[in-house]
Structure 1
Amino acid sequence: MEDAPRTKRRRTIAYETPLVRSTEYWFHDGSIILQVESTQFRLAESMLAMHSSVFRDMFTVPLPADEPTIENCPVVVLQGDTVQDWVLFLGVLYPKGGAHGRPPRRDASSEQKYDFAAFRKDCLQLLRKQFPTTLKEFDKVSSDWTLIKYELKTSYRDLVSLAREIGLHSILPVLYAGMLLKGYTYVEMVNILDQNGGFSATDRLACLTGYANLLKQQLITTFAWLHFMEESSLTLPSETCKQQDECLAAVKTIISNFFLEWRPRVRAFAPWNDDWGDDLCLVCERKAKKVFKTGREECWRSLPEAFGLPKWDDLKALDFDIE
């Protein structure tokens, strides 16, 4: 004898707290209702089970005969979730357009919680590409967020919080550096961290410590070719320079125009500025570029430590395995 179908008549639910139905994700052919805070979503069990091992296991458990329903659909209350996270995630699960290149957003925490493995893997891979661990890859995306069209990118706090929450530690150095490389002064950085609530004490300390460390570090790495020291120790002019006085004057002008300002800024990974070589001879310009390139790479290698983080290899070892 076949088991009684799950759609048999059950008692309905009466809620004291006013509930609202999602206007976007209430499908008439849905078979399950997910309640997040005071919002309900009517969705297809098959879609959730196909992508989530958590929901797949949940749906294998037989429902009691008197399980309360709404429009013959069982109701699952998701404690601790937010409507915002689920609206963002359902926009991915039920895309209105193509899903290619979708941005990793705060809903990645829901992807992890309910083990939407394929979506979560895609999200983490995009984050790793946008905030890489190598200088070569960083140079491809450093001018703008070319892979992530993130509506809150003027504030990094959501992605910093997300990286910690999902265990993607290797993107933290570039996330922190991204704020500093916008050219903020120390006072501006403090104001930004204060105004954009949500940064933990750990992240605040890392950003401000990194700011001070990178200001010092860039002078002895990326910009070592200028050597902000006495003239006898200058990298330039080169020993084979045939216009020593002119190139020395050019170096002093570069230092004066670009670096001796009362509002010091982090420029550790800025690209070479062609204006710097305008008044240098070809020999000195080539040497300056070589020292600049080598110093920039050296500064990158020590970037995590500037923020009080482990070295690159150790950070990558801490990352959650997505393979």
Structure 2
Amino acid sequence: MSSDAPPAKRARTDDDAPSTPIRSDIWHYDGSVVLQAANTQFRVHWSVLTMHSSVFKDMYSVPQPDVAGPTVENCPVVELHDDPQDLEYVLKALYDPTLLSQQTLSFDIVSALVRLGRKYDFKNLRKAGTERLLFENPRTLDEFDALQKRGGTPRRVEYQKGYRFDVVNLLQDADIPSGLPHAYYQLVCTSPHTGMGHVRRSDGTYATLTPADMSRVALATQKLHNAQFRPGYTLSWLHELSSADQCSSVQSCAEIRFLFLQQLVTDDTLFIALFTCPEQLTGLKSSFCARCANNMTEKVKAGRQRAWDELPGFFGLPSWDELKQSDEL
């Protein structure tokens, strides 16, 4: 057989044939346009899209070519390179405003609102998703304290396995850097117990961090741990030696400090207590003499605020003000 002979053609299989598009549940029979993402179609209204999105408004105003493109039931088909599930969430939010009024939304819905809201300039949807993310990732110490007092419930974004990794990635991808310091801090507090590289989600997929973020969090963990004992930070009072003119029970107060520190180290050698509230130390405070108790309270309050003000820097980020100015809200 000649080597110049053309290669034998592979027999055509059913897999080669274009698959029939799936009609989604979002199918308005009076709709004027069909959006197609992957193999899923959604029949909606140009009027609704153009009301909420400048991108679709511009798309609608573009003159149509003489040769008509594909249609479904006399509606033009607009192909979008998005995940069908994300598009479904966004369209549901447009057609059913009660979705956004729910107290808690899944992370997947919030992610779709933020990502596609940004891509297609659905300003209200992006804002709704961003507000939920920043509610869960506060930018002031007062907001942080309010979140802690709620004990994490009710949430504005539903917690799921891999959530903390997914939040960091979303905040970065969506250019909302002011939420990152808290999101990173949560990883510092949880990563020693959950593993750093990846977390298996309930659907079997994995939430991961970039190598750069893994390194950032690992370095910050040690920095935060060391900083909390330095003068001006939350636990600086643990290393202070009280004199008789400052303390009415020098030996007793010194022993209390030592035992408290010993307990912290025993529980977790890399514990982070930068944002411990004075109220959390009520039992300890009652064991000190009055002067040491007041000193501890003052040092904790001032140290918490300093730690919060400097939190972005521990992760190699700009100041809070710069981060907020960089947000695309």
Aligned to 2:298, what secondary structure does the other structure show? helix
The 3 A distance-change label for structure 1 pair 128 and 149 is closer
**Which residues of 2 match residues 1-323 of structure 1 at below 5 A?**
16-22=18-24, 24-63=25-64, 64=66, 66-79=68-81, 81-95=82-96, 97=98, 99-100=100-101, 103=105, 105-107=110-112, 108-142=114-148, 143-144=151-152, 146=154, 148-152=156-160, 155-182=163-190, 184-185=191-192, 188=193, 191-195=195-199, 196-220=206-230, 221-227=233-239, 234-236=240-242, 239-261=245-267, 263-272=269-278, 273=280, 274-320=282-328, 322=329
Q: Give identity over the alignment, percent.
A: 29
Aligned to 2:276, what secondary structure does the other structure show? coil
**Structure 1 length normalisation: TM-score?**
0.82
The 3 A distance-change label for structure 1 pair 314 and 19 is same
Which runs of at least 4 in structure 1 moved beyond 6 Å after TM superposition? Answer: none
> Whole-Å Cα distance in 2 between the matches of residues 235 and 29 of structure 1?
78
Structure 1 residue runs without a partner (length 5+): 1-14, 228-233
| Contact 2:132 2:157 (8 Å CA) reproduced | no
Q: Which amino acid aligns with 1:55?
A: F
Q: Which amino acid aligns with 1:306?
A: F
TM-align CA RMSD: 2.4
Cα offsets for 1:29-70 (capped at 9, x unmatched): 222111111111111211111100111111123434633211
**Structure 2 length normalisation: TM-score?**
0.81
Of structures 1 and 2, the one scoring higher in RCO (CA 8 A, sep 6+) is 1
> Whole-Å Cα distance in 1 between the matches of residues 243 and 74 of structure 2?
83
> Whole-Å Cα distance in 1 between the matches of residues 33 and 313 of structure 2?
49
| Contact 1:30 1:44 (8 Å CA) reproduced | yes
The 3 A distance-change label for structure 1 pair 292 and 192 is same
Paired residues in the alignment total: 295
| Contact 2:117 2:123 (8 Å CA) reproduced | yes
What is the CA distance between 1:291 and its match in structure 2? 0.7
Q: Which amino acid aligns with 1:199?
A: L
Aligned to 1:259, what secondary structure does the other structure show? helix
The 3 A distance-change label for structure 1 pair 93 and 288 is same
> Whole-Å Cα distance in 1 between the matches of residues 283 and 161 of structure 2?
30
Greater Cα offset, 125-134 or 162-171: 125-134
The 3 A distance-change label for structure 1 pair 280 and 82 is same
> Whole-Å Cα distance in 2 between the matches of residues 165 and 131 of structure 1?
16
Structure 2 residue runs without a partner (length 5+): 1-16, 200-205
| Contact 2:111 2:129 (8 Å CA) reproduced | no
